[in-house]
Amino acid sequence: MSTISTDTHQHAGPHDADHGHHHPPAGFKRWFYTTNHKDIGTLYLLFALTMFFIGGLMAMVIRAELFQPGLQLVQPDFFNQMTTVHGLIMVFGAVMPAFTGLANWLIPMMIGAPDMALPRMNNWSFWILPFAFAILLMSLFMEGGGPGFGWTFYAPLSTKYSGDSTALFVFSVHIMGISSIMGAINVIVTIFNLRAPGMTWMKMPLFVWTWLITAFLLIAVMPVLAGTVTMVLTDKYFGTSFFDAAGGGDPVLFQHIFWFFGHPEVYIMILPAFGIVSSIVPTFSRKPLFGYASMVYATSSIALLSFLVWAHHMFTTGMPVFAELFFMYCTMLIAVPTGVKVFNWVATMWRGALTFEVPMMFAIAFIVLFTIGGFSGLMLAITPADFQYHDTYFVVAHFHYVLVTGAIFSIIAAAYYWLPKWTGHMYDETLGQWHFWCSLISVNLLFFPMHFVGLAGMPRRIPDYALQFADFNALISIGGFAFGLSQLLFLWVIVKCINGGKPATNQVWEGAEGLEWQLTSPPPYHSFTTPPDVK
């Protein structure tokens, strides 16, 4: 199992110059000029980790302010800026770059390609990201403060009632979008053109399938986001009235356009997670994935349906009843292919020879907790009920169960699963288990009580609240700080693993006799050379 890319001559001898070989650039130049998919994947992953901690610090500010009722730490304006930038950084700076990093590392190896199809564009799509987020973060230091209109930047908050930081915000979102589109084009071209002979469509690992479908979603919706932020910009600075009723526009139009991007976007942040879990669960169950073809079709139908449900974010804007019913039923329909996936993962584990290494623990936690997020999503889909849930902490609980215990847990599972392949060393299993249990307990203490305060009517995005919510908010904040601190364990595991440790063999997960690293999906007829050791 090669952990260092073979396409740069790492060990050039003294006579290599005579044969036309060149020494690869070292240090900063190596990373800045690299067109190697593994290097670029590593850059994406490290960038996502950095942004995860920056976004996490902002969440800590939010939870510290909400620890008790009454204003303690920050002004309401700054609180709003924190909620806005926390959301933007976690979505566009942590989750999406992490998935893109995994795609860069794994897709060429999974389909037998030498590299990504468009390596220079790959380099560029990464290196514009740090600038985008530098611009976003610098906007916080502008006179009049940073963007304080929520990560959904609804008009007229973002067009009439915001400072000049809006211009920087729009510019940074454009750059993020350009990066995403380039990454998506690269994934599609690679998978279509660089598959090894014999790697037919229905033999591709599910991670490759989920990313291919995600890439098409990205290309479909990123231009919609670009159009939205451009209209916000021209409304604010150039006298247009797209979203201004006084000039013949409509603020609700903003919500339609934004959520036409925003709903497929949340599937962009969860489909690759499905692919990761579909790689990990079969490995530690010592069994092929149950229902490979149905997984592919379920993923495709989720992607298609995601374009028909955007207005479920808008039930309270006064839609016609027919429209509310249409969006309600379409939203509930998405539960069907999602349920197929959960059933298949459970069926894969059923009567398998299970072992519970850290990647498997996070994958199982993903299945259980993501399902909770799915059920609260079904509750939100019910139009008359949504009138009570809308804009309360119930919604915050719902999408954090999907995005933290969903997307983030899957990314952490992937890191543990592939770290030995990336570094050549085994991670510290004991530390990993500590990280898992601390994360699991704290994340539920953080988000589960939000369902209750939400159902009791506590509105979201407020720096203060009524006294009756004080006890629950103290618990939620303690859970938040504990979850944040738990991630320092993760950092420690990664640093330790990169610096050394037990060498990883090509038979990393003990007991997986004859089981390839990436299970080919569907696997060969006989997956085991010897019966697995059932513990």
Of residues 37, 236, 287, 312, which has the active-site annotation?
A: 312
Crossing angle of helices 409-423 and 470-499, rounded to 10°? 10
Euclidean distance between CA atoms 242 and 249, whole angstroms: 5
Of residues 174, 341, 390, 398, which has the active-site annotation?
A: 341
Of residues 195, 263, 398, 451, which has the active-site annotation?
A: 263
* CA 320 from centroid of its chain's CA atoms: 34
**Closest Cα partner for 86 from 402, 403, 391?**
403
Name the phi and psi angles at 392, rounded to 5.
-110, 175
Contact 206, 293 (CB under 8 A): no
Of residues 125, 162, 166, 179, which has the active-site annotation?
A: 179
Note if 341 is an active site residue.
Answer: yes
DSSP state at residue 511: T
Of residues 34, 42, 165, 278, which has the active-site annotation?
A: 278
**Closest Cα partner for 461 from 193, 13, 157?**
157
Euclidean distance between CA atoms 471 and 66, whole angstroms: 11
- Peptide bond just before 459 cis, omega within 30 deg: no
Euclidean distance between CA atoms 450 and 456, whole angstroms: 10
SS3 label, residue 137: helix
Note if 263 is an active site residue.
Answer: yes
Of residues 86, 390, 425, 435, which has the active-site annotation?
A: 86
Contact 260, 221 (CB under 8 A): yes
Euclidean distance between CA atoms 456 and 453, whole angstroms: 5
Tokens of 61: 């500010």
Note if 179 is an active site residue.
Answer: yes
Query: Tokens 């440790």, residue?
Result: 501
- 8-19 in b/e form (b: 16+ CB < 10 A) is beeeeeeeeeee
Note if 345 is an active site residue.
Answer: no
Note if 425 is an active site residue.
Answer: no
Note if 19 is an active site residue.
Answer: no
Note if 313 is an active site residue.
Answer: yes
Tokens of 354: 């299970």
Please give the radius of gyration of the chain, using alpha carbons only, rounded to the nearest integer. 23
Note if 180 is an active site residue.
Answer: yes
Euclidean distance between CA atoms 104 and 278, whole angstroms: 18
DSSP state at residue 15: T
Of residues 38, 63, 174, 313, which has the active-site annotation?
A: 313
Of residues 151, 154, 434, 492, which has the active-site annotation?
A: 151
Note if 151 is an active site residue.
Answer: yes
Contact 277, 286 (CB under 8 A): no
Of residues 166, 338, 383, 486, which has the active-site annotation?
A: 338
Within a 10 A sphere around the Cβ of 360, how many other Cβ atoms?
23
Contact 406, 502 (CB under 8 A): no
Within a 10 A sphere around the Cβ of 446, how many other Cβ atoms?
25
Note if 286 is an active site residue.
Answer: no
Of residues 460, 492, 509, 513, which has the active-site annotation?
A: 460
What is the DSSP secondary-structure string of 341-387? Answer: HHHHHHHHHTT------HHHHHHHHHHHHHHHHHHHHHHHHSHHHHH
Note if 460 is an active site residue.
Answer: yes
Q: Which helix (H) or strand (E) holds 444?
A: helix 429-455
- Peptide bond just before 205 cis, omega within 30 deg: no
Note if 37 is an active site residue.
Answer: no
Euclidean distance between CA atoms 7 and 10, whole angstroms: 9
Residues belonging to the active site: 86, 115, 151, 179-180, 263, 265, 267, 278, 312-313, 338, 341, 460
